[in-house]
Amino acid sequence: MLKDYGRCFACGKANPRGLALPIKETPEGVVMDYAVPEDFAGWQGIVHGGIVATILDELLAWACNRADRSMMTAEMTVRFRRPVRTGRPIRGVGRITEDKGRLILAEARLLDESGQLLAEATGKLMRASDRNDQ
């Protein structure tokens, strides 16, 4: 099983260089309200695309993990719709769309304050193995 030790780059509260995403469980999946700091910009005032993808990936994983499944992303498709601005509030949502046992399909979205879609992802997540590979 995967072990959370608080240092995840995306959600870990014990990682001083990470995002510390405040993801919360909901009856439908997960939600997050956040403003990405300027430190994670690509272009001035715009969040780096890799960080946007990281946030979406974390929402996918949390949507699965809230259902008591230790999952890892096997495949993810990201669509960037509009720039995500640094320092501005965004809302992230994630949910499971299909449970196929060992494989879970999920989706995540990032929205601005007015509810406009900024980026979205679909993902296939695989159940974590019992093996403890080094």
| pLDDT at 84 > cutoff 80 | yes
Segments making up each domain of the chain, as ranges: 23-127
| The CATH number of the domain covering residues in 23-127 | 3.10.129.10
Contact 68, 2 (CB under 8 A): no
Q: Would you give the distance in Å from CA 51 to the centre of its chain?
A: 10
| pLDDT at 132 > cutoff 60 | no
Q: What is the mean pLDDT of the chain?
A: 92
For the record, the structure tokens of 38 come out as: 């300027």
Q: Which residue has the higher pLDDT, 66 or 62?
A: 62
pLDDT tens track for 2-12? 677 889 999 99
| Predicted TM-score (pTM) of this structure | 0.93
pLDDT tens track for 11-32? 999 999 999 999 999 999 999 9
